[in-house]
Structure 1
């Protein structure tokens, strides 16, 4: 313990940076846990779709969507998201919604917009289509 204190005193910049990183990790972890938007694994998503009539929303580009998407996924492009045009999803407002993007990073914006629009059960697929394809799960091109 004495060595740790000695190190912290002799390297204040490094110690402060380390402390800030640890605090950021803690804050981000708490925010993720407290968020109404949950990140689902491919298995959790499959259960949600099969057991609770979950609806998959694909937020990738039209080209990527046509190249291959999850069966029965509804395409929602960025233009509709920025205009808050969720008319195609209104009948699914009470169902679980799972937003899918390419890698699970850009879906956050779409999930936040859906939550603001009154969709109460919004989720996102952790890892996006990359995780879906890596798991060997089926896609369709229709």
Structure 2
């Protein structure tokens, strides 16, 4: 323990950076846990689709969507998201909606905008289509 304190005092810049990184990890973990938008695994997503009539919304480009997408997924392009045009999803407002993107990184923005538009049961697929394909789950063209 004495060596740790000595190191921290002699390497204050490294210690500060390390402390900052640990703090950011804690903050991000708490934000994810407290968020109304949940991240689902492929298995959880499959259960939600089958048991509660979940609707998959693919937010990738039109080209990627046509190359292969989850069965019965609806396409919602970035142009519609930026204009908050969610009229194609209005009839699914009471159903769980799962947002899918390529790697699970940009789906959060779409999910947040849907939540602001009044969709109460919005989730996203952790890992996006990459996770879906890695799990060996079916896609259609």
Which TM class, normalised by the smaller chain length? Answer: over 0.9
Unpaired runs of at least 5, structure 2 = none
**CA–CA distance in structure 1, aligned partners of residues 10 and 133 of structure 2:** 49
Give the deviation of 1:66 after TM superposition: 0.7
Tell me which residue corresponds to 2:14. Answer: 14
- Aligned residue pairs: how many? 141
Give the deviation of 1:98 after TM superposition: 0.2
Unpaired runs of at least 5, structure 1 = none
Give the deviation of 1:128 after TM superposition: 0.6
**What TM-score do the two structures reach when normalised by structure 1?**
0.98
Tell me which residue corresponds to 2:124. Answer: 124
Give the deviation of 1:2 after TM superposition: 1.3
**CA–CA distance in structure 1, aligned partners of residues 66 and 15 of structure 2:** 50
**CA–CA distance in structure 1, aligned partners of residues 71 and 91 of structure 2:** 19
Counterpart secondary structure, 2:129: helix
Counterpart secondary structure, 2:139: coil
Tell me which residue corresponds to 2:96. Answer: 96
Alignment of 1:1-142 (within 5 A): 1-141=1-141
The list of structure 1 runs, each at least 4 consecutive aligned residues, that deviate by more than 6 angstroms after superposition, is none
**CA–CA distance in structure 1, aligned partners of residues 15 and 133 of structure 2:** 41
Deviation per CA, 1:89-115: give whole Å up to 9, x if none: 001111100000011111111001101
**CA–CA distance in structure 2, aligned partners of residues 133 and 13 of structure 1:** 42
Alpha carbon RMSD of aligned pairs, Å?
Answer: 0.6
**CA–CA distance in structure 2, aligned partners of residues 131 and 92 of structure 1:** 24
**CA–CA distance in structure 1, aligned partners of residues 8 and 138 of structure 2:** 53
**CA–CA distance in structure 2, aligned partners of residues 69 and 7 of structure 1:** 52
Give the deviation of 1:4 after TM superposition: 1.2
Counterpart secondary structure, 2:60: coil
